[in-house]
Structure formats: structure tokens, C-alpha cells
Amino acid sequence: MTGRLVVLASGSGSNLQALIDAAAEGRLDAEIVAVYVNRRGAFARTRADEHGIPQEFVPMRPFLDAATDDRAGREAYDRDLADRIATHRPDAIVCAGWMHLFTRAFLDRVGVPVVNLHPALPGEFPGAHAIDDAWAAHLDHGLARTGVMVHLVPDEGVDDGPVLRTGEVPIRPDDTRETLEGRIHELEHHLLVEAVGELIGS
Ligand code: GAR
């Protein structure tokens, strides 16, 4: 049965595009039923619009402003987002460049697997700047490889959880930060489709 996916993105959405293309070309038996973004200008919105996928910008600021502290604001945001997502009855939620750390309030409420993509190998360079961090390690002490992982999000850990797919990306002597990033994204686009396909049994 065709899997229903909700995709969360904060930026360009090239990984969202990889899922859209794989579904359109029959390589992934999935329908992307909605896209949510937390940054107004995220190009992922345009990609969704171009393919007729409902998309919505849900900013966190109003939830933080209304709450007594940061944690309460994040939890209120997560509950609201989980409720919006539930209206689409997804089989899985895919964080494809989603720059927001979920609280348990989200994970407990959604009741379906949450998948995250990260441009580093398990246990290396968590956070929003993994490619910069790997590049800095290359320049500093000759790090010769980095990688990509796709994993489940079971708890509040940052870019951590049961690994679905992982792949190494060599850092070549003639690489620039940009050529390295290009190869990382190429591998991401491939591994994300594979991992999501296996998860939803397509
Ligand atoms: C991807 O490289 C993804 O792995 C990364 O954001 C990028 C989004 O690219 N995610 C993280 O760093 C999560 N910690 P995209 O918007 O072109 O898909």
C-alpha cells in the first residue's frame, strides 16, 4: 500500500525533491501528503507548491513568546505541530533538513516513526553544521572521510537514534567545501529514498 509521508524541512529542500522525484518515478511507493516548514523563506515550500503538495509555514516564535519558559514554548509548538500533522494520517514523518529539536511532546503524540537525515556518520558532528565541522576537521588534522546517516528519532537526542542507512563520503585532496557538500547531498538523496522505502515497505 502506498505510504503516506509528511516531510518537515527548513531550507532548500533538495532531499524533499529527492523523495518527490522517487515517488513520481515509481522508485518509492509513497505519497507526500504534506510539507511543513519552520522558516518562512524555505525553498522547500516552492518545491511543494510546484508539485501540488500542501505546505504550511509554522513558526515557533509565537509559542515561545506565549510560554513561561523556553521548554514550555517548545513543547507547545511540538503539540501543535503534531496535531496538524495528524490530520494528514501519515505512516511516517521525514525530517529532511529540519532544524528543530523535538521534545517528547511531539514524539509521544505522533504515534508513527520519525526519520531524520544527517550529513555525518553516527556519533560524529551532531547539530546544524555537520558539513562545516567535518571540513574544519579536514583542514585541521586531515580528516579523510565523513558521511551520511538516516536514522529513527526515538527520543530527544540530537542527530542520534537507531540507524537505518549510513554511507561514507571520502574527503579528497582536491575537494573544496562545496565539492564535498555536493557529494554528501548526492548520497543523502539516494540513502534517504532507500531508507524511507524500506521503512514503509515499498
Ligand atoms: C541536509 O544535508 C541534511 O542532512 C541536513 O540539512 C540539509 C538539508 O538539505 N540536516 C541536518 O543537518 C540535521 N542536523 P536540503 O534542504 O537541501 O534537503
pLDDT of residue 1: 85
Write the CATH number for 166. 3.40.50.170
- Atom 2 of ligand 1, nearest CA residue: 119
Catalytic residues: 118
pLDDT of residue 65: 97
Question: Counting Cβ atoms within 10 Å, is residue 94 exposed (0-12), middle (13-18) or buried (19+)?
Answer: buried
Q: What separation in Å is there between the alpha carbon of 73 and the centre of ligand 1?
A: 24
Q: What separation in Å is there between the alpha carbon of 64 and the centre of ligand 1?
A: 24
Q: What is the pTM of this model?
A: 0.97
Task: Report the C-alpha gap between 153 and 163 in whole angstroms.
Answer: 9
Q: Nearest to residue 146, comparing CAs of 121, 125, 173?
A: 121
Task: Report the C-alpha gap between 105 and 97 in whole angstroms.
Answer: 20
Other residues' Cβ atoms within 10 Å of the Cβ of residue 64: 15
- Atom 3 of ligand 1, nearest CA residue: 97
- Whats the size of the chain, residue-wise? 202
DSSP β-bridge partners for residue 151: 116, 163
Per residue of the chain (202 residues), give pLDDT as tens. 899 999 999 999 999 999 999 999 999 999 999 999 999 999 999 999 999 999 999 999 999 999 999 999 999 999 999 999 999 999 999 999 999 999 999 999 999 999 999 999 999 999 999 999 999 999 999 999 999 999 999 999 998 999 999 999 999 999 999 999 999 999 999 999 999 999 999 6
Task: Report the C-alpha gap between 29 and 65 in whole angstroms.
Answer: 41
Q: How far is CA 201 from CA 8, 11, 145, in A?
A: 21, 28, 31
Range of the domain at 110: 3-200
Q: Nearest to residue 21, comparing CAs of 45, 42, 3, 47?
A: 47
Strands (E), 10-128: 30-37, 55-57, 92-95, 114-118
What's the number of domains the chain is made of? 1
Q: What separation in Å is there between the alpha carbon of 68 and the centre of ligand 1?
A: 31
**Backbone Cα Rg of the chain:** 17
Q: Nearest to residue 55, comparing CAs of 45, 65, 64?
A: 45
Pocket residues for ligand 1 (CB within 6 Å)?
9, 11-15, 96-97, 117-119, 128, 130, 159, 188
- Atom 8 of ligand 1, nearest CA residue: 97
